[in-house]
Amino acid sequence: MRRIKRTALLLFALLLALFPWRASAATEGAVYRRVSTEEKVIALTFDDGPHPRVTYEVLDLLAAYGAKATFFVIGKNLEEYGEAAERAVSEGHELGNHTYTHPHLSGIGVGSFEGELTRNGALIEGVTGERCRLFRPPEGSCRSEMLALVGQCGYATVLWDVDTRDWSGIGTAAIVKNVLQNAREGSIVLFHDYVGRECHTVAALKEILPRLSAAGYRFVTVSELLSYSASASDVE
């Protein structure tokens, strides 16, 4: 009996060594928009990059304020501008999966979607050395069968409660106002570090970061933000 116990313990230790367990607050298949917390923590998220200039400017600003963020990257951009993503990871930021080509999900089948998800997932793992656990659908929505697949592939889906609308071409002041009026404890804020037009994201961040910092907020990755939530059911 004792020997069986010892063998079981040895086996367990071997499994741990082979597959190191990593604590993550993200629950597979869950959909997050924000978390309920009284802690002054906010998750800034940047979609559609990496970009050869904007991502670096964002990273410089985040570093200046000791802020951590999450970048929901597009696989094709990651292939082209991987160095920006490598820098982000090396500075403590997190990468999330935003598909390989950013298709309109209403226009593709589940098989194509799976390809989009897994191809980008492999690219991200190539940068981080870890399995990616966070997914954000292009335009923030996908069909229920796709959501189910996302969960089966080990991802949580991360949406947002504050849309800066920086993608729409609005000016710096409007982006700043959107964030300062709506961000609160546990918020997930949607920015873009790759916009196919004139983009005021960086200029807005230059105002948002000092103002929210002065109000006592800390900026954390989505995974860290989720750790402030007692359970998935705590999510709004």
User: 49 vs 186, which CB is nearer to Zn ion?
Assistant: 49
Minimal distance in Å, beta carbon 97 to Zn ion?
A: 11
User: 114 vs 163, which CB is nearer to Zn ion?
Assistant: 163
Which position's Cβ is nearest Zn ion?
47
Minimal distance in Å, beta carbon 27 to Zn ion?
A: 23
User: 48 vs 166, which CB is nearer to Zn ion?
Assistant: 48
Question: What is the Cβ-side half-sphere exposure of residue 145, based on CA atoms within 13 angstroms?
Answer: 9
What is the Cα–Cα distance from 146 to 167, expressed in whole angstroms? 25
**Contact footprint for Zn ion (CB under 5 A):** 47-48, 138
Minimal distance in Å, beta carbon 94 to Zn ion?
A: 16
What is the Cα–Cα distance from 27 to 133, expressed in whole angstroms? 9
Active site residues: 47, 192
Minimal distance in Å, beta carbon 124 to Zn ion?
A: 15
User: 50 vs 138, which CB is nearer to Zn ion?
Assistant: 138
Q: Are 132 and 157 in contact (CB under 8 A)?
A: no
Among 137, 143, 144, 140, residue whose Cα is nearest residue 106? 143
Strands 162-163 and 31-32 turn out to be unpaired
Q: How far is CA 85 from CA 59, 64, 112, in A?
A: 10, 18, 25
Angle between helices 54-64 and 201-214 (to 10 degrees): 10
